Amino acid sequence: MSAQQAADATTAVPPHRVVILGAGYAGMSAAVQLAARVKRGGNVEVTVVNARERFTERMRLHMAATGQPLAELSIPRLLGGTGARFVCGRVTAVDARTRTVRVDDERVLPYDTLVYGLGGVADTAAVPGVAEHAHTLDSARHAEALADRLTRLGSGTVVVAGSGLTGVETAAEIAERHPGLHVVLLGRAEPGADMHPKARAYLHAALERLGVRVRCGTEVVKVLPTTVGLADGQSVDADVVVWASGTRGAPPAASSGVTVDERGRIVTDAALRSVSHPEVYAVGDAAAVRQGYGVMHGTCQSGMPTGVHAAVSIVRALRGKQPKPFRFGYYHTPVSLGRNDAVVQFTRPDGSPRRMYLTGRAAVRYKETVTASPWPTWGRMKALPAAGAVWPRGGRLTRNRTAR
């Protein structure tokens, strides 16, 4: 067979269709990594679906919620030159049986391999009244709506429900940007509960300095138009409620036919494939990924590596090889406390605190470096895919070599 005949035979074979849902931290990592690896060979068609052309910096949504402008980052522009196709639209349904995705209830995209990275959303169904009366930080649009409400409020009480990292950062940002508002942070656990005692004490002192009133050991049982009801029968007056207490997987997963856990996240095997549909990979907050220390919690820190691993696993599968297990260990927990303060807790791979931590301006610089890193990382990955295949594993930085 001549070279031309071989080329004609190759082009006659339909391309392997990989559809990536969601262009967040995990989805973008999968898209850029995969497109870069198959660009110069392989009969593969990569399609990325996202509701907006602008990339949402979820790690900065607490800033957007107080009216601070975020960078204009174009997803199609970043994907330019990779060969990946971008589809702007909202995913309204996934059918794992027919291997199709419906976008905006109008377009249908078939797939051979699916990467599900639609992330998580606030669990507004867990407590009565949350969906009707509380704000969330699920998207830039939600953050902008909250910013508008806070600006019009002028004075009053803002209750932030949820004492995890999102709640802490949101409460601190609102208190700093709107000193005329009373900010109350409610939660079951103490803010910074997983930090070293000294780092936790610093976090509490910062919240006190900003005027944030902390009430831990409390559980919200209902949200009304002007109050928040607690499990002990008490209530807290609230002009605005921000819900930062618990997340669920985005809705399409639960109705897609794939196996999900009690929080609507796709249950994966060791290689990040759906346990019920191995042609579906789940990444980021959309996936229930189990490691030796338990199920991973969703962060950009862990989300980007899942996207990279899914991409290199797909490449291995296309080459007739078996995907390798995903292994990941946490490295740090950076928490902003307004624009001029922060605390960074360094951790063991299982997320437990080490003795080392940063505070003040050094922590601010560290946190900003981490927050700003994804976009330039993806830019480097376009030319050198291996540039994004390094992450903490077992307490060490390890390069992912599974695509070889």
Q: What's the confidence (pLDDT) of residue 404? A: 47
Q: What's the confidence (pLDDT) of residue 112? A: 98
Q: What's the confidence (pLDDT) of residue 246? A: 87
DSSP string of 55-73, one letter each residue: ---GGGHHHHTTT------
Q: Is pLDDT of 3 > 70?
A: no
Q: Is pLDDT of 397 > 50?
A: no
Which pLDDT band, with edges at 50, 70 and 90, does 237 fall under? Answer: very high
C-alpha separations of 30 from 130, 181, 196, 300, 388 in Å: 33, 41, 34, 13, 10
pLDDT digits (tens, 9 = 90+) for 338-382: 999 999 999 999 999 999 999 999 999 999 999 999 999 999 998
Which pLDDT band, with edges at 50, 70 and 90, does 386 fall under? Answer: confident
Residue whose C-alpha is closest to residue 109's, from 21, 38, 26, 23: 21
pLDDT digits (tens, 9 = 90+) for 292-345: 998 888 778 899 999 999 999 999 999 999 999 999 999 999 999 999 999 999
Q: Are 91 and 111 in contact, with CB atoms under 8 Å apart? A: no
- Per-residue HEC secondary structure of 363-383 comes to HHHHHHHHHHCHHHHHHHHHH
Containing H/E element for 390? strand 390-393
pTM > 0.85: yes or no? yes
Identify residue 165 by its one-letter amino acid code.
Answer: L
pLDDT digits (tens, 9 = 90+) for 147-184: 999 999 989 999 999 999 999 999 999 999 999 999 99
* Beta-strand runs (E) in 170-296: 181-187, 212-216, 220-223, 227-230, 235-237, 240-243, 247-249, 266-267, 280-282, 287-288, 290-291, 294-295
Q: Are 295 and 289 in contact, with CB atoms under 8 Å apart? A: yes
Domains and CATH numbers, the chain: 3-122+248-328 (3.50.50.60), 130-245 (3.50.50.60)
Q: Are 74 and 56 in contact, with CB atoms under 8 Å apart? A: no
Q: Which of 10-14, 253-257, 390-394 has the lowest mean pLDDT?
A: 390-394
C-alpha separations of 391 from 24, 47, 281, 288, 348 in Å: 18, 26, 19, 19, 14
Q: Which of 107-121, 228-242, 372-386 has the lowest mean pLDDT?
A: 372-386
Q: Which residue has the higher pLDDT, 320 or 393?
A: 320
The CA angle 186-191-193, to the nearest 5 degrees, is 135
Which pLDDT band, with edges at 50, 70 and 90, does 403 fall under? Answer: very low
Which pLDDT band, with edges at 50, 70 and 90, does 12 fall under? Answer: confident
C-alpha separations of 88 from 51, 107, 313, 357, 386 in Å: 5, 11, 26, 41, 28
Identify residue 366 by its one-letter amino acid code.
Answer: Y
Q: How does the average pLDDT of the chain come out, rounded?
A: 92
Q: CA gyration radius for the chain?
A: 22
